[in-house]
Structure 1
């Protein structure tokens, strides 16, 4: 059975074809069975900035920890494979999912954004 859902914000860099820009992002995790963790990463990037750098469907988020995390434009409703178009919304959501954390120590090491949250969660009933 899943336990609580926790969110935190981070500051990093987005890398599109070797061109980088500062970006804020949100990470959230759910604790599953057997100390497994499912981490979701979401960020918003300016459509025009992405298009000018040749963005197609994926980029790299350089997180606070220095980890390089591939992030993707969902494009679930698109018929062109998820590529951007000048008619798309001005801010484009990029997401990633990481299910590689199998311990709390692994989670906190890979995502320092959660550092202060653990202490706050410990005070919950």
Structure 2
């Protein structure tokens, strides 16, 4: 069972097909029963910008420290979608609390 461990927010750029747009993002760290951790990244992107860039369900969030995280949306985006579209990604490459805190200084414990 996942339990909440920490949260935070930051500023970055969303990249699609070589173009970028400034975005804010939220981070949530969840802890598993075995004490491993998972970082969920969530952001809202402008629907019209996504359509203009040829969004195909995947984009890359570039955080202020330069790290890159893939974010996606399972459903497509079209003019009938909300004006702001939620994209999510997960970082499961680090599961140690100390390493997560170093990799994501924007987290508040």
User: Given the two structures, how large is their TM-score scaled by the length of structure 1?
Assistant: 0.78
Q: Distance in 2 between matches of 1:94 and 1:14?
A: 10
> 1:31 — aligned with what?
31
Q: Distance in 1 between matches of 2:61 and 2:7?
A: 17
> 2:98 — aligned with what?
105
Q: Which has the larger radius of gyration?
A: 1
Pairing 1:76-95 to 2, within 5 Å after superposition = 83-95=76-88
Give 1 or 2: higher helix fraction: 1
Structure 1 gaps, min length 5 = 76-82, 119-125
Aligned residues between the structures: 109
Q: CA RMSD in A?
A: 1.6
**Greater relative contact order: 1 or 2 (C-alpha under 8 angstroms, separation 6 or more)?**
2
